[in-house]
């Protein structure tokens, strides 16, 4: 079941690759105007020299397949001034902001250092940069964008804020800092929902499943891909949430992309219906 978001204005942070890229494409599929942010302008030009596929240019190139309009902004969300500026730019250019998706996430960028997988190292060997990346950038930039966006959404008395999160918010998943950061994203959605309800603005936390991101596909031999989801599947979840006339009833809660697909009656881009993860099965 398709939805029509023609006339809606969206901002998706961290959309040059991964889940953010998929969310942007899913919203473009629904006909929305989608502003995207990222640090990598063109493929092969990662600002830290990392070998990571995905760029703003590649999303812009792919956007031509969809009815929506895509606008790219080079933004480093480690800097509050850049995060605030892009929200103000969208509001100045479009006159409104209907959907904000917080997906900027540098926490996975150096899971392997010196050919060693440091993600599962003991606490005393965990580098402090990981805290700074996940919380100082990932969570902080989400709060920074929300601060600016909510003022405009309160004036227009409508809006949807989506924080990309995961089950690590609720159970230990190999890394304590990861859990703290995702729990913060859930709590941020819940408390923003509480404060913004009087303005008819909703906030939710969205849990993807195993997503076929660029990095996952590069290491597919280490994953059971049988129940995986496309990045675009995450965008379809956000699009259907935004089109739900009863959205405020969901505000403040956590949803998986797969559960929303079953509720709203749509499938992944290949026609597959992913099975929802649960606390016990993830």
Question: Could you list the active site residues?
Answer: 178
Question: What token pair was written down for 137?
Answer: 């950038």
> With the C-alpha atoms ordered 106, 187, 211, 42, is the resulting torsion angle positive or negative?
negative
- Dihedral, CA atoms, 240, 241, 244, 246, nearest 10 degrees? 160
| CA 6 remoteness from chain centre | 21
- Tokens 């290949």 belong to residue: 270
Contact between 20 and 12 under an 8 Å Cβ cutoff? The reply is yes
CA atoms within 13 Å, Cβ hemisphere of 163: 34
For residue 34, what are the β-bridge partners? 10, 70
Q: Find out whether 19 and 231 touch, Cβ atoms under 8 Å.
A: yes
Residue tagged 């290491």 (tokens): 219
Distance CA 143, CA 189 (A): 10
| Positions of E strands within the chain | 9-12, 33-38, 69-74, 99-102, 112-113, 116-117, 159-164, 201-207, 254-256
């Amino acid at each position: 079941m398709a939805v029509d978001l023609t006339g809606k204005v969206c901002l998706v942070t961290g959309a040059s690759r991964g889940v953010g890229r998929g969310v942007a494409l899913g919203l473009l599929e629904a006909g929305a105007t989608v502003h995207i942010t990222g640090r990598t302008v063109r493929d092969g030009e990662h600002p830290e020299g990392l070998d990571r596929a995905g760029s703003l240019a590649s999303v812009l190139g792919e956007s031509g397949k969809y009815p929506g309009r895509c606008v790219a902004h080079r933004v480093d969300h480690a800097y509050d001034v850049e995060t605030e500026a892009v929200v103000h730019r969208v509001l100045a250019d479009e006159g409104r902001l209907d959907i904000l998706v917080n997906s900027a996430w540098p926490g996975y960028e150096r899971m392997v250092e010196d050919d060693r997988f440091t993600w599962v190292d003991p606490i005393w060997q965990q580098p402090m940069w990981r805290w700074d990346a996940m919380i100082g950038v990932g969570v902080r930039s989400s709060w920074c964008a929300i601060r600016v966006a909510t003022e405009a959404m309160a004036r227009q008395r409508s809006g949807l804020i989506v924080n990309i999160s995961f089950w690590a918010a609720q159970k230990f998943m190999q890394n304590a800092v990861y859990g703290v950061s995702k729990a913060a994203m859930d709590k941020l959605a819940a408390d923003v929902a509480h404060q913004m309800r009087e303005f008819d603005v909703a906030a939710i936390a969205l849990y993807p499943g195993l997503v076929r991101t660029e990095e996952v596909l590069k290491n597919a031999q280490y994953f059971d891909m049988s129940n995986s989801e496309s990045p675009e599947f995450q965008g379809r979840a956000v699009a259907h949430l935004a089109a739900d006339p009863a959205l405020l009833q969901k505000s403040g809660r956590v949803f998986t992309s797969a559960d929303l697909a079953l509720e709203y009656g749509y499938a992944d881009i290949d026609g597959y219906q992913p099975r929802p993860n649960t606390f016990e099965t993830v």
